[in-house]
Structure 1
Amino acid sequence: MTERGEKQVSRNSSEFVIGPSSLQWDGNKLTIQILERAVPFGQKIAGTVELYPNSLFNFSTPLDAAGKHRWGPLAPSARVKVNLNSPDLKWEGNAYLDSNEGDEPISQSFHEWDWSRAEMSGGRTSVIYDVREKNAQENILALTFNPNGTIDHFEPPPRQALPKTIWGIQGHMRNQNSESLRVQKILENTPFYTRSVLNSELLGEKVLSFHETLSVPKLTLATTQFMLPWRMPRVTW
């Protein structure tokens, strides 16, 4: 990812342009055109990602008590096709697309959060957002998005601790018991953020959950801020 300045970003009703890359919606699918450089060696990343929603949701809810940060899935269940020519990489599978927006930096409101998504039987998708704010207030969202466009709220299971990462991040997962919870694969492991695939249990089903933990205190550390531009360059002109 590359952070880009205002002059390199534009959008209209069907297209969002970010530097040399873009997102285009044709009413049926979202096409992401990628033309970027990787860090730290500048190797080329180019190709397309196509996302086909199984259903679309016009849903948004606050993540914090003040309502300054909002989240909502656009396509809780979808299909994705990845076709990169640099590097040569092609695959397709199940997908998910959501939206986050805020009126202030996340460091102003949050201490940490755990988020998870699981594909359930019957084409349903369940999401748990377990948020801890800086003022120690907790906000827990436990929602199931159904293929017919309805949304069900459910009582989240107890919070279970996950193994600490090498960076000392203590993640948590809402699961009925610790015995049925297992980290299957770690996808990202950074000083302030981790993303994993978990074997878990939800609403009486054994499921595969995608899970993330964000630690805001670790994000705002001076050492982390020093390292960020090496992973995510910033182009302001």
Structure 2
Amino acid sequence: MTDRGRSALRQARDCITVGPSSMRWDGNHLIIDINEMGAPPLITPVRGRVTLRPTGLTAVEMPLTEDAAHIWRPFAPTAHIDVDLAARGWKWSGHGYFDANFGTRALEEDFSTWSWGRFPTKGGSTCFYDAERLDGSVLNSAVFFGEDGQHEIAALQPKTRLKRSLWAVRRETRADTGYRPKQVMNMLDAPFYSRAMVQTQLGGEETTGVYEALDLRRFRSPLLKPMLAVRVPRRPSWRF
């Protein structure tokens, strides 16, 4: 991840290029070409291609605040993914998804914490969004997406505590009553953020999916911003 200036951006109907990396639609495939450098302590090239083949696309946009200042956009909640990076052990294929968040205010202006999860379930995928806003209100949402991209409101299983991350970020996800979710793979650990593969049970179906927890109270700390700048370097002068 690299912050770049406007000069590094090119955009067309089916393609967006940011610096040396790009994303483009080729028929019904999304092709992501990556040419970046890893962050400390592993400052090594990250190069290769990710190809995403959605089973169906959605037209869903979920407002995360009442004034829609923050939006979740699940483009392809269910997809097949091929990863081919130029590094040993970084070639694999499997179940994937493609989504995005965007908005008109910084996240820390409106949220205290949030957790999100996307779990493969029979016939598609189930997504959970749980958030605590600074004004004291909460967001608790569950959506099921069929393989064709159609969606419906899903059952909200009880919130169930998940073991804290290595940085002691509070985590909880949804699970059937009496079931104890568990982390099966750590993907990213930061003082304010955790991303992991988590195993849970939904409607009697055991499933493993991608989960994230974000603590925006910690993120607001002036002590953390310099750390983030190290992990996500800025390259404002990049030119084509």
Range with bigger deviation, 164-173 or 103-112: 164-173
Which residue of the partner structure matches residue 70 of structure 1? 71
How many residues align? The count is 236
Q: Distance in 2 between matches of 1:148 and 1:165?
A: 34
Q: How big is each residue's C-alpha offset from its partner over 1:173-208, in whole Å with a ceiling of 9 and x where there is no partner?
A: 122235432222222111010012222111231211
Q: Distance in 2 between matches of 1:92 and 1:28?
A: 17
Q: How big is each residue's C-alpha offset from its partner over 1:8-31, in whole Å with a ceiling of 9 and x where there is no partner?
A: 112110110100111111221111
Which residue of the partner structure matches residue 22 of structure 1? 22
Q: Which sections of structure 2, spanning at least 5 residues, go unmatched?
A: none
Q: How big is each residue's C-alpha offset from its partner over 1:192-227, in whole Å with a ceiling of 9 and x where there is no partner?
A: 100122221112312113211000011121221010
- Share of identical aligned residues, percent? 28
Range with bigger deviation, 14-23 or 171-180: 171-180
With normalisation by structure 1, the TM-score equals 0.94
Q: Distance in 1 between matches of 2:196 and 2:74?
A: 19
Distance 1:27 1:146, change over 3 A: same
Q: Distance in 1 between matches of 2:73 and 2:203?
A: 21
Decide whether the 8 Å contact of 1:44 with 1:87 is kept in 2: no
Range with bigger deviation, 196-205 or 90-99: 196-205
Superposition pairs of residues 38-187 of structure 1, within 5 angstroms: 38-40=38-40, 42-86=43-87, 89-122=90-123, 124-187=124-187
Distance 1:28 1:224, change over 3 A: same
How far is the alpha carbon of 1:91 from its aligned partner? 1.1
**1:28 is matched by which residue type in structure 2?**
N
Q: 1:65 is paired with a residue of what secondary structure?
A: coil
How far is the alpha carbon of 1:87 from its aligned partner? 5.6
Q: Distance in 2 between matches of 1:20 and 1:149?
A: 31
Q: How big is each residue's C-alpha offset from its partner over 1:135-194, in whole Å with a ceiling of 9 and x where there is no partner?
A: 110011200001233211023111112222232211111222354322222221110100
With normalisation by structure 2, the TM-score equals 0.93
Structure 1 runs of 4+ with >6 Å offset: none
Q: Distance in 2 between matches of 1:155 and 1:46?
A: 40
Decide whether the 8 Å contact of 1:46 with 1:87 is kept in 2: no
Q: Distance in 2 between matches of 1:165 and 1:26?
A: 38
Q: Distance in 1 between matches of 2:174 and 2:110?
A: 22
Q: Which sections of structure 1, spanning at least 5 residues, go unmatched?
A: none
Q: Distance in 1 between matches of 2:178 and 2:166?
A: 21
Q: 1:180 is paired with a residue of what secondary structure?
A: coil
